[in-house]
Amino acid sequence: MPVSEDTMYFETFDKITFTPEYLLDKSGNTERVTLPDFDVTINGRVWDNQYNRYPLLVYKDITYFPMTYENARFLGLKSAWYPNEYNEKLATFFVGFNGQNSVPFDIDMYRTEEINPKEMKAKIADYQLAVNTVDTAAFIDSKILQYPVLNFRFVTYFPLTWHFAVDEFGWTYQYDAQQGLVINSDQSNKVKTVLDETILNGDK
């Protein structure tokens, strides 16, 4: 079922966690991103970035991961938007552990008919980000990070720095010239507590 990029909702639609359009930076400022020029294998699955609607990206020499609903589950996480009915600008994108190392299924690569160009544009995520927390004081201000969280095609992308990939998401990763980037999530549920993030709902 096709999705119009002109109208994005909080709901998880077709297993993709879209960013509401009104939360994106309206200044027109964008950041140059590129496709990885190396192989990527995630939990044993070779990742197709050329024909993937939400490919991995490279920004400032750091690889970025698209935190869609299915991608999160595939790596032992959960992701969701929580709106605030009193102030729409206080909507929060949450990522945390789902209590499993990964969910075994044939992950949807969001394949498209058109090949992705080597260079594209993304925006810095200028909205509330909660990673393994429901404490508003611990929310991430992406704008001040050396490697900010990005938004590409209405999907939130996290940098695979040690802080996020290992400390927050509990993944293991390694890179070499032969295999490229290899990511596994077999240790994820041993790192953090599974949170009830539904308290982030701003309707109380």
**DSSP 8-state class, residue 132:** S
pLDDT band at 102 (very low <50, low <70, confident <90, very high): low
**DSSP 8-state class, residue 23:** G
The whole-number pLDDT of residue 111 equals: 87
Q: What are phi and psi of 18, to 5 degrees?
A: -80, 150
Q: What are phi and psi of 109, to 5 degrees?
A: -85, 5
**DSSP 8-state class, residue 38:** S
Q: How far is CA 138 from the centre of its chain?
A: 18
CA distance 198 to 196: 6
CA distance 149 to 65: 10
Enumerate the β-bridge partners of residue 151: 123, 156
Segment 117-142 mean pLDDT:
93
Four-residue CA torsion sign, 136, 166, 156, 110:
negative
The whole-number pLDDT of residue 98 equals: 84
Segment 52-65 mean pLDDT:
97
The whole-number pLDDT of residue 21 equals: 74
Q: What angle do CA 154, 4, 29 make, to 5 degrees?
A: 40
Identify the residue with better confidence: 121 or 108: 121
